[in-house]
């Protein structure tokens, strides 16, 4: 198993009302959950391959409670990555290289595809946003205003970034069109936090 690390910040936004109950192993608020997850790697390495500054996204369709059904998912890798970096990102975020991404991948029943795309990830204050060229656009903002303490959840059993408290947020936009999926949402759930992953 290759040795790798990746650390940075992530956010997610879905079709559930705030705060999404899926992270507490409860049913989605509409019976299914469609979620876009985005990662920005500040510092990362797979063997000798640097991954600093690269972005990754995962679009997930879960037709029921997320730990009880298999997901359909599509993986998007930063088009700025070299072929070696792209291969490393694919192995890591598809779960092939172990670590926490392998836990997330264990819920995926159908990988719809892996695409290289221009991904613009932005983190500023209490806002997070992503644009995937020709595919998706999403933005979330923390529930609390800039001069107030964040609303956070900690130690939730279904976590994208275990070990880090998640800030509760709400979307201003979630648009996704690919692989037969079409989502146009706003004023729905969002979470963001740092993430720290490594090979097992």
Structure token digits, residue 127: 């806002």
Taking alpha carbons only, the member of 109, 133, 104, 134 closest to residue 121 is 133
Confidence label for 177 from pLDDT (cuts 50, 70 and 90): very high
What pLDDT, on the 0 to 100 scale, is given for residue 200?
A: 80
Return the beta strands (E) in the chain as ranges.
4-14, 33-46, 49-50, 55-62, 71-78, 108-117, 119-124, 127-132, 136-142, 152-153, 166-178, 181-185, 189-198
CA nearest to 9, candidates 155, 165, 135: 165
Confidence of residue 2 (pLDDT cuts 50, 70, 90): confident
Q: What is the pLDDT of residues 60-114, one digit of tens each?
A: 999 999 999 999 999 999 999 999 999 999 999 999 999 999 999 999 999 999 9
Q: What is the rounded average pLDDT for all residues in the chain?
A: 97
User: Over 90: is that where the pLDDT of 146 sits?
Assistant: no
Model pTM? 0.97
pLDDT per residue over 10-44, tens digit each? 999 999 999 999 999 999 999 999 999 999 999 99
Judged against a pLDDT cut of 90, whether residue 184 lies above it is answered with yes
Q: What is the largest CA-CA distance in the chain?
A: 45
The answer to whether 197 and 43 have CB atoms below 8 angstroms apart is no
Tokens of 96: 């092939």
Q: Given this model, what pLDDT does residue 67 score?
A: 95
Q: Could you give the CA distance from residue 92 to residue 97 in angstroms, rounded to a whole number?
A: 5
Contact assessment for residue 23 and residue 159, using Cβ atoms and an 8 Å cutoff: yes
% of the chain surpassing 90 pLDDT: 97
User: Is the model's pLDDT at 143 over the cut of 90?
Assistant: yes
Q: How far apart are CA 13 and CA 10, in angstroms?
A: 11
């Amino acid at each position: 198993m290759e040795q790798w690390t990746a650390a940075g910040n992530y956010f997610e936004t879905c079709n559930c009302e705030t705060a999404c109950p899926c992270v507490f192993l409860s049913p989605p608020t509409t019976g299914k959950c469609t979620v876009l997850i985005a990662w920005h790697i500040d510092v990362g390495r797979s063997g000798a391959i640097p991954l600093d500054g690269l972005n990754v996204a995962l679009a997930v369709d879960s037709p029921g409670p997320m730990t009880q059904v298999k997901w359909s998912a599509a993986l998007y890798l930063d088009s700025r990555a070299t072929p070696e970096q792209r291969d490393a990102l694919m192995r890591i975020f598809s779960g092939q290289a172990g670590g926490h991404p392998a836990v997330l991948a264990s819920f995926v029943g159908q990988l719809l595809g892996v695409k290289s795309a221009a991904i613009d990830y932005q983190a500023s204050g209490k806002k997070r946003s992503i644009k995937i060229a020709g595919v998706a656009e999403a933005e979330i903002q923390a529930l609390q205003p800039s001069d107030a303490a964040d609303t956070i959840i900690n130690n939730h059993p279904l976590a994208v970034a275990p070990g880090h408290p998640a800030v509760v947020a709400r979307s201003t936009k979630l648009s996704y069109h690919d692989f037969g999926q079409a989502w146009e949402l706003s004023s729905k759930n969002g979470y963001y936090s740092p993430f720290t992953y490594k090979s097992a």
